[in-house]
Structure 1
Amino acid sequence: MGYPKTGNEVYVSFSLSNTMFSGIGKGTITRELVSVDYLKDLFQKYGVIVSAKPEQRRLLELVNEAYGLGLEIPDTLKLARLSEKNRRLVLISVQGLKRVNGSLLPSYSEEEFQEATFEFVKYYVQSRHYDDLVAENNKLKSDLESEIAWRTRTTADE
């Protein structure tokens, strides 16, 4: 499955690091668990860039086999760095595999790979900070309440 090149691709990775978010200034990050169907639509709309280490090749193959995502398997690590154009990151969360200090091991046996299960979490960076959005929402609410009070006012004669 080939996904388009749009300039607004979604990054896909097995790990999350602070450096991934260094290309974005002040903003708000939303996080949500997403379905495979959602991902297929998202990737078809925006395209995808896989950020995975060469030793994670077998994990990507398992994801592609199990979910039909058609993710390209890179020969070298492409660093994910979110930016104004690339605001989305999908983290493939892997359960059932041994880890050292929270990190996946460089290799597993085929039996260990068969124990792996996956979830998909989308991170989206909005260019506006949460505090600014809350302030704007409060102002709009106040303006609406004033407009409603004005339109539904009654006079002393009534």
Structure 2
Amino acid sequence: MSYPKTGNEVFVSFSLSNTMFSGLGKGTITREEVSADYLKDLFQKYGVMVSAKPEQRKLLERVNTIYDLGLDIPETLKIIQLSEKNRRLVLIAVQGLRRVNGSLLPEYTEEEFQEATFSFVKYYVQSRHYDELVAENEKLKKDLNAEIAWRTRVSDI
């Protein structure tokens, strides 16, 4: 499966790093679990860029085999950083594999790979900060209540 190059690619990684978000100013990050079918549509619309270590090749191959995502498998680690154009990050969460200090190991046996399960979490950075959105929501509620009061007023005339 080949995805387009749009300049607004969705980043995909096995790990989350604070430096991934340093290319953005103040904003609100939303997080949601998503399905592989959702990702296929998302990647078809925006394109995709994978950030994975060479030793995670077998994990990516397994994800591609199970979910038919058609992710490119990079030869070297690509450092990704969200920006005004690239606001989406998909984290491939891996369960069922041994870890050392919370990190995936460079190698696993075939039996261990068979035990691994995967899920997908999409992070999206909105350009507006949560506090700003809350303030706008409060103003809209106040305006709506004033409009309702005006329309439902009772006149003594």
TM-score, L = length of structure 1? 0.98
How many Å apart are 1:147 and its aligned residue? 1.1
Q: How does 1:1-158 map to 2 (within 5 A)?
A: 1-157=1-157
Q: Secondary structure at the match of 2:30?
A: strand
> Over aligned residue pairs, what C-alpha RMSD do you find?
0.6
1:106-139: per-residue Cα shift (whole Å, max 9, x none)? 1111111111100000000001000100000000
Structure 2: distance between partners of 1:142 and 1:11: 39
How many Å apart are 1:92 and its aligned residue? 0.2
Identity %: 81
AA aligned opposite 2:126: Q
AA aligned opposite 1:71: L
Q: Secondary structure at the match of 2:153?
A: coil
AA aligned opposite 1:153: R
Structure 2 unpaired stretches of 5+: none
Q: Secondary structure at the match of 1:30?
A: strand
Structure 1: distance between partners of 2:92 and 2:99: 15
Structure 1 unpaired stretches of 5+: none
Structure 2: distance between partners of 1:80 and 1:103: 19
Paired residues, what number?
157
Following TM superposition, the consecutive aligned residue runs of length 4 or more in structure 1 with deviations greater than 6 angstroms are none
